[in-house]
Amino acid sequence: MAQQYYEIESNFTPIFSLASALIKAKGYNEVCQLLSNAKLSVINTEYDNWNGGTYGYTVYIGLSVNHYSSYTSTDINNIEKIISNALNEANKRDNNCYFYAQITPSLSKDDIDWEIIGGLNGKAKLKQNIETIKDIMVSVSTGGNRIQEEEARYKNLHNQIQIDCKKLNIPYNNIFTSLWDWYGKWKADFPTYQERRIFVKDLFEQTFAYFEEPDKQEVTDTFVELDNWEKIERTITKIKMDSRSAINEEDFQTIGLLCRDVIISLAQAVYNPIIHGDMHEDGTKIGNADAVRMIGNYVNYTLSGNNNKELKAYAKATNALANQLTHKRTATKKDMLLAVSSTIALINFIGIIEGKL
C-alpha cells in the first residue's frame, strides 16, 4: 500500500520542525524536551471524501517506559493537546489534512534489565552472537562460506539469541531457523549480493537499536562501497566474524593472514602496471602479489603533487603497518586488532580515492 503524503518523513519533517518551534516559543519547554527524546511515526488513520478528500494523521510519540510512567493520564492528555494544536497550526495552509498526537509507551534500551542474562557481560555476549549470525548470513549468501560449514553454528546461535531476546522482551526478527531457509529466501527474492546485504542489515536493525545508537559504527567497519570488490567484502566479513572468537596465537595469526590476503586483493583491484608503472622506486620489478609496492606506486601516481604529500605519507604508513603486522608470527590479540584496524583503514583510504562513497 502506497504511503500517504505526511507518512513520508521528508514531507512531515518541515511541519514537525515548525510545530516544535511554536511549542518552544509558547514556553512549553518540557514538551520540547519530551519530543527531542521520543520516537515518532506518522500514520494516516482517517479519511473522508468530502471536499476532494480529507486526511487525518495520527502522530505516535513513543516514550521509554520509565519516561512514560513519570506522567499522569492528565499530563499526557494535556501534552497531546499541545502537540496536536501546534501541528495543525503549523499546517494551516493545508485544509485537507489534520493531525492528532498520541503518546505511547515504547520499550527502549534504557528500559532493558540486562541482569536477566548476566548483566553487561551477558549484553556483550548477546550482541556478539547477533553480529556473528548476521555475518554468517551475509557470508553464505555472497559467495563466502558454504552453508554446510556454518549450519550447525548458525542453529546454535539462533536458538540462544531467541531465548535471550525473549527473556529481555526485545524484538528478534530473524525468522530463518536454518540457513537453508535463508537460502530459499535469497534465491527467490534477492538476485544480487547487494540486495541480500541490505535485507540482512534491515533484518537486525531493530534489535541492534537496543544495544547502541543506530548510527554508531564499529571500529572495524568499512564505510566505502564494496559493491564490485566482492572478494574484498567476503574476506572482510570473515575477518570480522573470526576475530570475535579468536582466543589463541594460532587464531590471531590466521586473522593476520586474512588481512594480508585482503590487502593483496585491494592492491590487485586498483593497481595497473601500464598506468602506475611496473617498477618500484627502489628499482624492484613489482610482482602480482607484491601489495606494498603495488599500492605504493598507485598512491604515488594518484596523489602526485606537493599538495598531497601528507596523504601519500599516511597511505604509505598505513600500508606498511598493515603488512608488517600481518607477517608477525608471535601474534597477540593486540597485534590482531591493530592489523584489522590498519587493514580497514587502508581499504577505506583507497576506497575514498576511488570515489566509492
- Per-residue pLDDT reduced to its tens digit, 6-29: 888 888 888 999 999 999 999 998
- Tell me how far CA of residue 310 lies from CA of 125, 306, 313, in angstroms: 40, 9, 5
Confidence of residue 216 (pLDDT cuts 50, 70, 90): very low
User: Residue 71: phi, psi to the nearest 5?
Assistant: -105, 145
User: Which set of grid coordinates corresponds to residue 197?
Assistant: 546485504
| Euclidean distance between CA atoms 299 and 354, whole angstroms | 11
* pLDDT at 348 > cutoff 70: yes
Residue 326 scores a pLDDT above 70: no
pLDDT digits (tens, 9 = 90+) for 257-286: 888 888 899 989 999 999 999 888 888 899
pLDDT of residue 196: 93
CB contact set of 224 (below 8 Å; sequence gap of 6+): 347, 348, 351, 352, 354, 356, 357
Report the C-alpha gap between 344 and 39 in whole angstroms: 33
- Residue 2 has what DSSP assignment? P
232, 130 in Cβ contact below 8 A?
no
Which residue carries 594480508 as its cell?
A: 260
Residue carrying the nine cell digits 572478494: 231
Tell which residue, 283, 268, 246, 245, has the closest CA to residue 350: 268
Mean pLDDT, residues 308-335: 70
107: how many CB neighbours lie within 10 A of its CB? 15
Read off the pLDDT of each residue in 205-232 and give the average, rounded to a whole number.
72
Which of helix, strand or coil describes residue 56? strand
Give the residue-averaged pLDDT of 282-304. Answer: 86
Contact by Cβ (8 Å): 258, 238 = yes
**Number of Cα atoms under 13 Å in the Cβ half of residue 123:** 14
Instruction: Please check whether residue 204 is in contact with residue 175, taking contact to mean a CB–CB distance below 8 angstroms.
Output: no
Relative to beta strand 54-63, strand 39-48 is antiparallel
| CA 339 to mean position of chain CA atoms | 22
For residues 52-88, one letter each, b for 16 or more C-beta atoms within 10 angstroms of the residue's C-beta and e for the rest, the string is eeebebbbbbbbbeebbeebeeeebeebbebbbbbbb
Q: Calculate helix-pair angle for 179-189, 119-141, nearest 10 degrees.
A: 50
Q: What is the pLDDT of residues 40-89, one digit of tens each?
A: 899 999 888 766 678 899 999 998 888 898 999 999 999 999 999 999 99
